């Protein structure tokens, strides 16, 4: 399998071992199926069959005193067909099972290549690392592609946070070899979609992540319930004792932000704070004063979904 990077203009782009064909394409030996094409300003689009894949990012904010400071960008891919967005599930139906891991790798490389379009100095990049039921060798290969792409684009491995699902496929085990390689390279880990259940706690104990991400849907269900909020605060406290920062996702209203802050969240993310935007969009990222979400409701952006 090869990943072809047809670059109309790349500043300082080079991959060890890459070969150039007569059309100026860069062929990366062993990369997954599909292609990434960069336009004249370096904005990259992924191609898989008839679909075009675009990088979207949502800011993550750190709670710092009376303000929220930009901390990271959380990346995801959105498929387009004939210039129109389509549901991710529809796109995945077009992907053969044996190609799913390769497409996920393709998306990771795309997000790393595009993050400079949105990224300011000091911001981390959050990517999902789950690649389905794969061998340890496949997982190591996936990581190697990501590290090579980081080196190509000048993003430090320490800026990358790789996420593993809190409720994994029981047949998709994460090896100690993979975890050790990630940590030795400087990559940080997160447990994503954390919610109720013993399996989620076991996942945290095994992976020892730097960040635990509270599932947004679960959080929104319990945020209005006072007893549940008190239990959430105890859960957050316990996760912190294990050395993890806690990110509450899916914050869409001021009361939900208040619930996340009361629970002791270190990091918050959601449409109330900033909507997900496509790479290349103009987006001003700066500190947000917490008080403004409560004293000036007319200026609060609330999700319509």
When pLDDT is cut at 50, 70 and 90, the band that residue 171 belongs to is: low
Instruction: Determine the average pLDDT of the residues in 91-113.
Output: 87
Q: What pLDDT is stored for residue 34 in this prediction? A: 58
- The yes-or-no verdict on residue 87 having pLDDT over 50 is yes
Q: What pLDDT is stored for residue 262 in this prediction? A: 96
When pLDDT is cut at 50, 70 and 90, the band that residue 28 belongs to is: very low
Grouping H, G, I as helix, E, B as strand and the rest as coil, residue 126 is strand
- The yes-or-no verdict on residue 145 having pLDDT over 50 is yes
Element (H, E) at 23: none
- The yes-or-no verdict on residue 226 having pLDDT over 80 is yes
The better pLDDT of the pair 225, 34 is held by 225
When pLDDT is cut at 50, 70 and 90, the band that residue 179 belongs to is: very high
Neighbouring-strand partners of residue 288: 68
φ, ψ (nearest 5 deg) of residue 28: -95, 110
CA–centroid distance for 149 within its chain = 16
The better pLDDT of the pair 26, 182 is held by 182
- The yes-or-no verdict on residue 186 having pLDDT over 80 is yes
Q: What pLDDT is stored for residue 167 in this prediction? A: 78
Instruction: Determine the average pLDDT of the residues in 46-63.
Output: 93
- The yes-or-no verdict on residue 142 having pLDDT over 50 is yes
| Range list of β-strands (E), the chain | 2-7, 19-20, 26-29, 35-38, 44-48, 51-64, 67-81, 84-85, 124-128, 160-165, 188-194, 211-214, 245-248, 267-268, 277-278, 288-289
The better pLDDT of the pair 188, 87 is held by 188
CA–CA separation, 187 and 171 (whole Å): 24
When pLDDT is cut at 50, 70 and 90, the band that residue 132 belongs to is: low
Q: Give the N- to C-terminal CA distance of the chain in Å, as an integer.
A: 39
The better pLDDT of the pair 167, 286 is held by 286
- Mean model confidence pLDDT for the chain: 83
Q: How many residues does the chain have?
A: 305
Q: What pLDDT is stored for residue 101 in this prediction? A: 82
CA–CA separation, 278 and 37 (whole Å): 16
For 47-73, letters b (16+ CB in 10 Å) and e give bbeebbbbbbbbbbbbbeeeebebbbb
CA–CA separation, 169 and 211 (whole Å): 20
- The yes-or-no verdict on residue 245 having pLDDT over 70 is yes
Q: Specify which of 13-17, 117-121, 123-127 reaches the highest per-range mean pLDDT.
A: 123-127
Grouping H, G, I as helix, E, B as strand and the rest as coil, residue 254 is helix
When pLDDT is cut at 50, 70 and 90, the band that residue 40 belongs to is: confident
Spell out the SS3 assignment of 56-96.
EEEEEEEEECCEEEEEEEEEEEEEEECCEECCHHHHHHCCC
Max CA distance (Å), the chain: 66
When pLDDT is cut at 50, 70 and 90, the band that residue 282 belongs to is: low
Q: pLDDT tens-digit profile of 257-278?
A: 999 999 999 999 999 999 999 9
The two structure tokens encoding residue 111: 């997000």
**Model confidence, pTM:** 0.84
When pLDDT is cut at 50, 70 and 90, the band that residue 170 belongs to is: low
Q: What is the DSSP string of 155-193?
A: --GGGEEEEEESS--TT-PPPHHHHHHHHHHT-EEEEEE
Q: Point out the least confidently predicted range of 32-46, 73-87, 192-206, 281-295.
A: 32-46
């Amino acid at each position: 399998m090869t990943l072809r990077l047809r670059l109309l203009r790349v500043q300082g782009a080079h991959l060890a071992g890459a070969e150039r064909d007569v059309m100026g394409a860069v062929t990366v030996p062993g990369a997954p199926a599909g292609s990434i094409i960069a336009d004249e300003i370096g904005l990259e689009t992924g191609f898989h069959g008839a679909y075009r894949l675009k990088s979207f990012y949502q800011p993550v904010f750190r709670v710092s005193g009376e303000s929220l400071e930009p901390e990271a960008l959380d990346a995801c891919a959105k498929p387009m067909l004939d210039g129109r967005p389509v549901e991710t599930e529809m796109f995945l139906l077009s992907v053969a099972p044996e190609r799913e891991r390769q497409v996920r790798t393709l998306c990771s490389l795309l997000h790393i290549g595009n993050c400079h379009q949105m990224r300011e100095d000091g911001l981390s990049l959050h990517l999902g690392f789950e690649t389905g039921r794969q061998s340890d060798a496949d997982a190591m290969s996936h990581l190697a592609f990501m590290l090579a792409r980081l080196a190509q684009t000048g993003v430090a491995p320490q800026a990358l946070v790789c996420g593993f699902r809190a409720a994994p496929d029981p047949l998709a085990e994460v090896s100690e070899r993979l975890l050790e390689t990630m940590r030795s390279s400087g990559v940080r880990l997160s447990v994503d979609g954390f919610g109720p259940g013993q399996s989620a706690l076991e996942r945290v104990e095994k992976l020892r992540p730097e960040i635990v991400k509270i599932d947004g849907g679960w959080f929104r269900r319990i945020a209005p319930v006072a007893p549940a909020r008190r239990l959430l605060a105890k859960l957050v406290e316990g996760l912190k004792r294990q050395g993890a920062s806690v990110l509450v996702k899916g914050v869409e209203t001021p009361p939900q932000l208040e619930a996340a802050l009361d629970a002791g969240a270190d990091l918050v993310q959601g449409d109330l704070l900033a909507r997900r935007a496509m790479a290349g969009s103009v987006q001003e990222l700066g500190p947000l004063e917490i008080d403004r979400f409560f004293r000036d409701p007319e200026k609060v952006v609330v999700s319509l979904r």
